[in-house]
Structure 1
Amino acid sequence: MTTLFIKNMVCNRCIMAVKSELDKLGIEPNDVQLGEVTFERELTGQEKEKFSKALVSLGFEMIDDKKSRIIEQIKNIIIDLVHHQDNDIKTNLSELLSEKLHHDYSYLSNLFSEVEGTTIEKYFIAQKIEKVKELLVYDELSLSEIAFRLNYSSVAYLSNQFKKVTGLSPSHFKKIREDRRKPLDEV
């Protein structure tokens, strides 16, 4: 079994795109997940090169060094947690990352900061705020429901963090988004 690590995979469409490219190339993956593809066998140099070129055309790239793989795994765990699991964790982020990646959190934190120029915590907050924006635009949940869903201790804490990151209050952001939208019959 061999695993290739891929940078910039952030959603289920990314997984589908990678599967589609592998299918076009006639390469059978064992499994495709965010940031990684496993194969039953080692790919030939030519297969790897073709796959790498196909990935680049999609906005992805293969990751060869260990540090970059760890960074990408941290990002994928956070993205999956925030965007695909409704932040349903009862443990803290540092414990979760240490457990999943089998490294001490201080090592992960220092590596992430050194390579990305930001902290894991700030990256996590940025992902949560993106999810808040998405949920505000969908207009299906109240702010208190969004706060609960994303594990904020209160609506006030969510609002303060949202304003600190975006410069806008959640209600102002929502209003701006609504003002930009036109009904389909006016487009």
Structure 2
Amino acid sequence: MVCDRCKMAVKAELAKAGLVPAQIELGEVTFQQAPLAGQLTQLQEGLKTLGFELIDDYKSRIIEQIKTTIIDLVHYRTGAQVLKLSVVLADKLNHEYTYLSNLFSSVEGQTIEKYYILQKIERVKELLVYNELTLSQIAYQTGYSSVAHLSAQFKQVTGLTTSAFKALNNHNRASLDNL
């Protein structure tokens, strides 16, 4: 789950399955009572129709928590990040960053840093399309140290300058779960 609408859709499917969540966060649901097998089957089928999947494998849950944490950092927080990404992930997930990094790379086929950069570039694209902020403001809001760093990374990832991207009619945005 990567947005509030996703949370609402999951909450509706939980209700259909007769499950009462204790908490719903991005990518994670905790229950007040352990669900019955039939309820989990119904939930899994309902989630599948929405394009979601039920993850119960420990390593898969860690991968989803890494992605969810990065999406939260990039898309729902503003301003420069005080702590390094490795410190944030290690603290939040209670694992050494080396373990998280190796697990993520082996399963996803890309590094955590690459995934983080792709998320940041998608956020930059979104802010460029809105055309409400200057490039300096976008650089600050997305945690880049300078406009030059943002511009260089944007061109490296997209093959376009930020101004060329703004001039396009088709902005080629990717959905967050496909990065």
Displacement, 1:88? 4.8
- Point out where structure 2 has 5 or more consecutive residues left out of the alignment: 172-179
Q: CA RMSD in A?
A: 1.4
Aligned to 2:114: 122
Q: Which has the larger radius of gyration?
A: 1
Quick one: which of 65, 70, 74 aligns to 1:73? 65
Q: Map 1:137-148 to 2 at 5 A.
A: 137-148=129-140
Partner of 1:5: none
Task: Give the total of aligned pairs.
Answer: 171
2:39 paired residue among 44, 47, 53: 47
- Uncovered stretches (5+) of structure 1, i.e. residues with no partner: 1-8, 180-187
- Find out whether 1:108 has 2:100 as its counterpart: yes
Does structure 1 retain, via aligned residues, the 8 Å contact 2:129–2:166?
yes
**Change in CA separation of 1:63 and 1:91 when aligned onto 2, cut-off 3 Å:** same
> Which residue identity lines up with residue 109 of structure 1 in the other structure?
S
How does the TM-score come out when normalised to structure 1? 0.88
Cα shift at 1:31: 1.2
1:10, distance to aligned residue in structure 2 (A): 1.3
The one-letter code of the counterpart of 2:134 is: S
C-alpha contact (below 8 Å) 1:21/1:54 kept by paired residues: yes
Q: TM-score, normalised by structure 2?
A: 0.92
1:24, distance to aligned residue in structure 2 (A) = 2.7
Query: Percent identical across equivalent pairs?
Result: 58
2:79–2:140 Cα contact (<8 Å) kept: no
How many Å apart are 1:123 and its aligned residue?
0.2
Is it true that 1:158 corresponds to 2:131 in the alignment? Answer: no
